[in-house]
Amino acid sequence: MTTLDPKLVTTAFTLDGYRIVHNLGIVRGITVRSRSIVGNIGAGIQTLFGGNISILQELCEKTRAEAFIIMSRHASELGANAIVGMRYDANDVMTGVTEVLAYGTAVVVEKTA
């Protein structure tokens, strides 16, 4: 299995200094998260004071990171060493439960001269 370098994951459809030699198709990483009662209470208190809701920000960061890791693992399993056209999406599955999806196109790239 190829180890995927996070520096070779891009929202662009090309990678400067590299040539795409194989397109391996769409890869995705999906995670579903909910807030705990304690998190809901803490976030509710933070909203009373305004500004950044750090409890929810931390949850969102962890969730996106997890989806990214799952997507990268999926690409590595296919033999990719890069991902182009990477995006995130999020949907509410039910009240208080959100799905986060990281997706892109798995490719094999070679360094150009």
The CATH number given to whatever domain includes residue 98 is 3.30.110.70
Q: What are the pLDDT digits (tens) for 57-75? A: 787 888 999 999 999 999 9
Coil, strand or helix at 51: coil
In a domain, 104, yes or no: yes
Cα separation, 37 vs 5, whole angstroms: 37
Please give the pLDDT value at position 46.
Answer: 58
For residue range 13-66, list pLDDT tens digits in order: 999 999 999 999 999 999 987 765 555 565 556 566 666 666 667 878 889 999
pLDDT of residue 71: 97
What whole-number distance in Å separates Cα of residue 87 and Cα of residue 113?
A: 29
Q: Please report whether residue 44 resides in a domain.
A: yes
Does residue 1 form part of some domain? no
On whether the CB atoms of residues 95 and 15 are closer than 8 A, the answer is: no
- For residue 63, the enclosing domain spans 6-111
